[in-house]
Amino acid sequence: MLRLPSRISSTAIRRVLPWLFRAVALLLVGWYLVLLYLPAGSPAQVYGLTVPKGVGFAAIARELQQAGVIRSSLHLRLVARLRGQDRRVQAGDYRISSAMLPSQILEKLAGGQTDACKFTLPEGYSIYQAAELLEKQGIFDSEAFLAACTDQEVLHELGISAGTVEGYLFPGTYQVGFQMNEVSLVTEMVREFRRRTEKLKPLLDATGMRLGQAVTLASIIEREAVSPEEKPLIASVFLNRLRIGMPLQSDPTAIYGVKVFGGTVTKQDLQRSSPYNTYRIKGLPPGPIGNPGLEALQAVLQPAKTDYLYFVARKDGTHQFSRTLAEHNQGVDRFLKKGKKKRL
């Protein structure tokens, strides 16, 4: 058997190796470029991806490959690493189409471009208004949301002793993800309330008030105040009245659960028999009439130091505050009766 000299064999190998490396490199580059610019499928195939907080990118890539919306999890991880996006993916719910390029998928995930519905609860809104808003936006059925707000098992788990979550849904904007239901949203909003009000506990302890009392009064202040700067003043009026046993006589309490407060309350409203109507009862109502924000809660715990007992709305949204009934009646005549013809 004829054998080539070992020196010749080594030389041949050294000549072949560079070409072999080039071929492999070209194949890898081709694989990278083909998958970079070749979608896995059609726009009709869409996958709902939920990215939890703290999840690794490798798990996300594997899930997308298993769902068939990308061709290779390894490729997506490589692209993400080269772009520096593998550690920038944000938690949330995303709709990923198999027609999307890897670069588009990564831009969406790293940019936090979620497809979850956004729901904003304004300060002072009641659970009834929240339910109406959710249904109007096509997120949840209003009756189903109200059922979640009064579910005794949910209330127990959330540590709420009242018969409803009214007052404990913290106002703000929430992402309503694919897997969220009415109970999930209620739970998240109550947990946000707990988180945001934790720093108020020392102030609450100093007042001697229970949390439920503070929230109830804050909910009334939230509905009465137009200007945030006046919340401590309005708080002082109600606290002064409570101190001397004087009815609060707050218009929004008279219509709670019946209609939306629009600033105008009829005489019939004020005479309505309701445990919440502070024209008919003394002291605080049995619970909140809405969901107050942080400023209203702070106003209850740190009210202005005044001896005011009355306030009446001016035409500009602010209020005139008075110490005596005579001063108050003058304000009523000036701001509420101005321009009206006197009856004979």
Quick: pLDDT tens for 316-328. Answer: 889 999 999 999 9
**CB contact at 8 A, 289 and 252:** yes
- Give pLDDT, residue 25: 54
Q: What are phi and psi of 250, to 5 degrees?
A: -100, 120
- Give pLDDT, residue 99: 86
> 299-314 pLDDT, tens per residue?
999 999 999 999 998 8
List, for the chain, all residue ranges whose pLDDT scores fall below the cut of 50: 2, 4, 31-32, 339-344
pTM of the model: 0.76
What sign for the dihedral angle of Cα 292, 296, 298, 300? Answer: negative
What is the SS3 assignment for 191-219?
HHHHHHHHHHHHHHHHHCCCHHHHHHHHH
- Give pLDDT, residue 341: 33
Beta strands in the chain (DSSP E): 46-51, 92-97, 117-121, 172-176, 310-313, 319-322
- Give pLDDT, residue 260: 66
Q: Which two tokens stand for residue 262?
A: 């629009």
- Give pLDDT, residue 194: 97
- Give pLDDT, residue 190: 98
> 127-137 pLDDT, tens per residue?
999 999 999 99
| Burial grade of 26 (CB within 10 A; 0-12, 13-18, 19 or more) | exposed
- Give pLDDT, residue 339: 40
